[in-house]
A and B are shown apart, each in its own frame.
Chain A
Amino acid sequence: DAGVTQSPTHLIKTRGQQVTLRCSPISGHKSVSWYQQVLGQGPQFIFQYYEKEERGRGNFPDRFSARQFPNYSSELNVNALLLGDSALYLCASSLGVRSAYEQYFGPGTRLTVT
C-alpha cells in the first residue's frame, strides 16, 4: 500500500508570497494533520482535519489555513510568507481522531523563504 504522499518535495518562495502544499493520506485514512518542523525541534501541530472538518488548530497565525477534500486529500496554504516560515512541513494521516489512532507521516515538503 502507498504511504502518505506530499507535493512538492522542495519549494523556494520569496517573502510576501503565498504557498500551497498538498497531501494524500494512506488509503482508508480519513484524518490528516499538518505539522511544521524547524531544525532541532520536534514537529509543531498546525491543523487536524477529519471527514473534511477542522478538528483542531495549533498556535499558528491566521496566515495558515487548510482544507480537506472529499477524497480525504488535503492542502495547507500559507499567505504573506515570512522568513520564519522556512521549515519542513509534514503531513500525517490516521484512521480517525480518537486518541488511540496512530499517525503516519509523509516525506514532507521543505519550504525555503528568501
Chain B
Amino acid sequence: QKEVEQNSGPLSVPEGAIASLNCTYSDRGSQSFFWYRQYSGKSPELIMSIYSNGDKEDGRFTAQLNKASQYVSLLIRDSQPSDSATYLCAVIAGTYKYIFGTGTRLKVLA
C-alpha cells in the first residue's frame, strides 16, 4: 500500500463547477496535511495546510480532513480554466518527512 494515494485523473469539470480532489494516507500518526498545485513544467505551490479534523476554507478552496478515515480532500469552488493543473497531496510522516502522492490532474473545461 502506498503511503499517500491519489487518483491520477484526469478529473474534468466544467467551468464554474466544484472540483473535488481526494487523498488517503496510511500512517495513522500523521498530523499535518498539505495541498500543492503544480502547473506543467513548474514547481509545486502551496495552496492549503490543515492540521485538525473538519473543514478549512481559504477563498475558493476548502480542505477537509478526517483522521479516523485517514482521508483528506480539497474542494475548489467556481472552478476556472486557470485551475487546470496537477494537485499534490502531502502528509508529514514522523517529525520531518514529507510524503507526496502522485497527484491528480485537473482539467477545467471552458
Q: Does B11 contact A (CB under 8 A)?
A: no
Do the beta carbons of B43 and A107 come within 8 Å of each other?
A: yes
Q: Which of B31, B42, B99, B102 lies in contact with A40, CB distance below 8 A?
A: B102
> CA of A51 to CA of B74 in the docked complex: distance in angstroms?
33
8 Å CB contact of B97 from A48, A92, A105, A106 = A48
Chain A residues closer than 8 Å to B103, beta-carbon distance: 41-42
**Contact code string A82-111 (vs B, CB < 8 Å = 1, else 0):** 000000101010000111101111111000
> By the criterion CB–CB under 8 Å, are A105 and B43 in contact?
yes
The count of chain A contact residues (Cβ–Cβ below 8 Å) is 26
List B contacts of A41 (CB < 8 A).
102-103
Number of interface residues of B (CB under 8 A): 25
Contact stretch, chosen from B13-21, B45-53, B61-69, B76-84: B45-53
Asked if A45 contacts B98 (CB within 8 A), the reply is yes
A26 to B92 alpha-carbon distance, docked (Å): 21
Please tell me if the beta carbons of A58 and B43 are within 8 angstroms of each other in the complex: no
A1 to chain B minimum Cβ distance, whole angstroms, is: 15
Contact B95–A97 (Cβ < 8 Å) = yes
Nearest chain A residue, comparing its CB with the CB of B92: A99
Task: Name B's A-contacting residues (CB within 8 A).
Answer: 4, 31-32, 34, 36, 42-46, 49, 51, 88, 90, 92, 94-103
Residues of A participating in the B interface, judged by any CB pair closer than 8 Å: 33, 35, 40-45, 48, 55-56, 58, 88, 90, 92, 97-100, 102-108
Known: A42-B102, A48-B97, A108-B43. 14 other contacts (CB 8 A): A33-B96, A40-B102, A41-B102, A42-B4, A43-B98, A43-B100, A56-B95, A98-B95, A99-B31, A99-B32, A102-B34, A103-B46, A105-B36, A105-B44
